[in-house]
Amino acid sequence: MKTRPWIRAATALLLLSISTSVFAADAVVPKPKNLERDLIRRTERPANYETPIEDLNSLYTPANKLFVRSHLPNTATTPIEKWEIRIEGEGIEKPMKLSIEQLKKDFPAVEIPAVVMCAGNRRSEFQPRVTGVQWGKGAIGNGLWKGVRLKDILQKAGVKPSTVEVAFNGADFPSLPATPDFIKSIPLTRALDDSTLLAYEYNGAPLPLENGYPVRLVIPGWVATYWVKQVVEIHALTKPSDNFWMKKAYRIDKGKFPAVEKGFASQENETSAPITEMVVNSIITNLQDGQKLKAGREFRVQGFAWDGGRGIKTVEVSTDGGATWTDATLGVQPGPYSWRQFTHAFKPAKGREYRILARATNGAGQTQPAAAVANGPGYHNNSTYETVAVAR
Q: Residue 269 — pLDDT band, cuts 50, 70, 90?
A: very high
Same-domain check for residues 268 and 199 = yes
Handedness of CA 188, 189, 190, 193 (dihedral sign): positive
Q: What whole-number distance in Å separates Cα of residue 315 and Cα of residue 326?
A: 8
Q: Which domain holds residue 286?
A: 281-391
Which one of 250, 274, 298 terminates a domain? 274
For residues 157 and 244, state if they share a domain: yes
Identify the pLDDT of residue 213.
95
pLDDT surpasses 50 at 18: no
pLDDT at 80: 87
pLDDT per residue as tens digits for the range 150-159: 999 999 999 9
Q: How confident is residue 20, by pLDDT bands cut at 50, 70 and 90? A: very low
Evaluate if residue 14 carries a pLDDT over 80: no
Provide mean pLDDT across the span 280-294.
96
Query: 191 and 305: one domain?
Result: no
End-to-end CA distance of the chain: 61
* Residue 148 clears pLDDT 60, i.e. is over it: yes
Same domain membership, residue 196 and residue 101 = yes
pLDDT value at residue 1 = 58
Q: Is residue 351 domain-shared with residue 311, that is, in the same domain?
A: yes
CA diameter of the chain: 71
CB 87 within 8 A of CB 150: no
CA distances from 248 to 43, 244, 268, 307, 381 (A): 22, 5, 11, 25, 20
Give me the CATH number covering residue 355: 2.60.40.650
DSSP string, 91-118: TBSS-EEEEHHHHHHHS-EEEEEEEEE-
Among residues 274, 304, 336, the one where a domain terminates is 274
List strand residue ranges (DSSP E) for 118-265, in order: 140-149, 165-170, 172-173, 183-187, 197-202, 205-206, 216-218, 231-237, 251-253
Q: Are 239 and 351 part of one and the same domain? A: no
**SS3 (DSSP) at 295:** coil
Q: Which of 173, 218, 177, 215 is nearest to 195 (CA)?
A: 218
Residues 257 and 286 in one domain: no
Res. 79 pLDDT band, cuts 50 70 90:
confident
In this predicted structure, what is the pLDDT of residue 25? 35
In sequence order, which residues have a C-beta less than 8 Å from that of residue 208 and are 6 or more positions away?
Answer: 30, 33, 63, 64, 66, 202
Separation of alpha carbons 51 and 40, rounded Å: 6
Inform me whether the pLDDT recorded for 3 exceeds 50: no
**φ/ψ (deg, to 5) at 239:** -135, 155
Query: Phi then psi for 103, rounded to 5 degrees?
Result: -55, -45
Q: Let me know whether 237 and 336 are in one domain.
A: no
15 has a pLDDT exceeding 80: no
Note the pLDDT of residue 263.
85
pLDDT at residue 16 greater than cutoff 60: no
- Do 62 and 35 belong to one domain? yes
Length reported for the chain: 392
Query: What was the pLDDT predicted at 261?
Result: 87
pLDDT at 13 over 60: no
pLDDT of residue 19 exceeding 90: no
Question: Across residues 223-235, what is the average pLDDT?
Answer: 98
Instruction: List the one residue out of 278, 326, 270 whose CA is nearest residue 305.
Output: 278
* pLDDT 10s digits, 293-346: 999 999 999 999 999 999 999 999 999 999 999 999 999 999 999 999 999 999
pTM (global) more than 0.85 = yes
Is residue 5 predicted with pLDDT exceeding 50?
Answer: no
- Domain boundary pick from 274, 291, 317: 274
Q: Is the pLDDT of residue 164 over 80?
A: yes
Helices (H) and strands (E) in the chain — how many of each?
Answer: 6, 27
Q: What is the pLDDT of residue 22?
A: 32
pLDDT beyond 90 at 75 = no
**pLDDT score recorded for residue 77:** 73
369: pLDDT strictly greater than 70? yes
We report the CATH number of the domain holding residue 133 as: 3.90.420.10
Same domain, 258 and 345: no
Structural domains counted in the chain: 2
- Tell whether 254 and 314 lie within a shared domain: no
Same domain for 295 and 162, yes or no, is no
Exposure on the CB side of residue 348, measured as CA atoms within 13 A: 24
| Residue 322 backbone class (left: φ over 0; alpha: ψ -120 to 50; beta: rest) | left
Mean pLDDT of 111-124: 98
